[in-house]
Structure 1
Amino acid sequence: MGFHPHMYASVRGFDLVDPLCNLVFDQMTVDLWRVVAQEGARGRYVSMHPRIVLLLQGATLCLRQKDGPERRAAACFIPAGVELWGRVEAPGEMAHVDIHLDRRALRGLSDRAVALPEPILLPDLGPLAPLADLLARECRDPHRDPGHVERLAQLILLELLHHAAPRAPDPAPERQGWVAGVEAHVLNHLREKLSVDRLAQVAGMSRTSFNRRFREVLGKAPYQWVLEMRCAQAQRLMTKGLSLAEVADLCGFSDQAHFNRVFKSVTGQTPNLWMIGPEAGARGSNIQDSIS
């Protein structure tokens, strides 16, 4: 049975032009979508597996995380469990290729990609454009060997990582120091209650200054960031075979029910579903519901 991405997309204002074209492999699925975006079209997206999105023919989406700034993107690498909100700037027809990867396949391709906590968003396809067009044509009319197509998709991932611009250095070096100190404190005290007051103390700031500067540097509230840190550590522990009760305790959740609620709110999946993945053999639905 082929790989299924367990993708959740809640969209509004997009109408299919053609039926979905896809290529399914053991550890990868490639989808080609052609849609017409109405004025104000938007969506919310999350998957338990990493994926690449390539918008064709000059199209872009404005993407953001829950509390982060909006950025225009034509090529994206989105880590597993990262929730994104997107909107179109202008109505019209658009097409995009989505490459969904099994987490195990990603580990075999790029240690860097596995470790990324945040999406990579490129404003244009650049040198990826001919590769994306070739993969789109293969989705519409498959005639290459499956291994050839898989290697093409893998090459797109590696090229996207190569061409991703490194994050600009922070103009205030001391900010990097206090962020690193706060992160180290959180990782060393995940089993404990982590109040904003305590984190501000670690950073050497007042609570008000800490909240303001934290949002400036990391683009989100400290409370949300701590939850994401707890869930990221939970994912690492679950892959090592620890029980959910053990993971909940080690990551500072009051009980397993609390862990389940927070993990789902952060990743879009329950811990059990995140762990099961495609290897359990259950094909889930690719849900696209309208936003009310």
Structure 2
Amino acid sequence: MVTVDADALSQVLSTVDLRVGVARRTSLPAGALLPIPHDMITLVYIAEGSVHGHPPLGDGCRLDVDPGSRRLTIDPQGHRDRLVAGDAFLMLGGSPFALEAEEAASLMVVDLELADAASQLRAVLPEFITVTGFDALEPAAAALAENMGLVDPTTCPVRQGDPLICRMMATTVLLSLIRAWAANGCAPQGWPSLSNDPFLDRVVEAIHEEPGRDWTVERLAGVSAMSRSTFAERFRNAVGRSPADYVTEVRVDAAKRMLDAGRPVSEISRELGYASDEGFSRAFRRRTGMTPSSWRMAHRTPVPA
């Protein structure tokens, strides 16, 4: 079994910040197909019945739990394409894919959109994650998954507070699914690593731990134990952006969470290392197209009348 460093796993999971988490319950008669969008992240929980993939899910680690004994069996080269009630499936996009109902099935489908910094999950996770027996491994998260979407949205108006609640529930289920997959032996050797370079991983971890620090290229190079020029080139090649751009991305995502929590713009600006509120607002606007105050207003959840 491949063991995963708990701190490294927590670091990856701590970056997960959903912009959108919209759930819907889908009923499929036997033989019906459910296309999965290839340009977004989709989480599927099998509430009833069974499904299989088109193309087949292929090779991949499977976690099977006997509900009676709660005994866990891990097959790192699992070939079981059939998913049944209680199983969960995460598709990170990239290839056309569809699920076909083998018998009448009820699925909870959640379309997810990650915030910028959390998009690094696409770099460190495989194209799909399957956790069979998710309901036995993570019963609380499975209960959330089963009750996230309306059976028939046309007959039950969505309450004003539902988008925020759904996003929080979707985050919980997503984190539980990734943790179950990783902590129970399905992660590849060396996972999680954004860069596949332990020296650069130190840098990424340091930025997330202290986003407000004065992260010059020289200081980051020191963390990586490399020269300035070598570090800058290796970081860009591994992560796909410059160190400065990555620092800004992490800061802006941290700012969004702070704005959601109701913290003042001036306080956020100081904590994230900006010399002035104006400098913070400019950086935030370049990244999001909105000022911090405008972003807060646009993402504020209305209070039901």
TM-score when normalising by structure 2: 0.43
In proportion to residue count, which structure has more strand? 1
Larger gyration radius, structure 1 or structure 2:
2
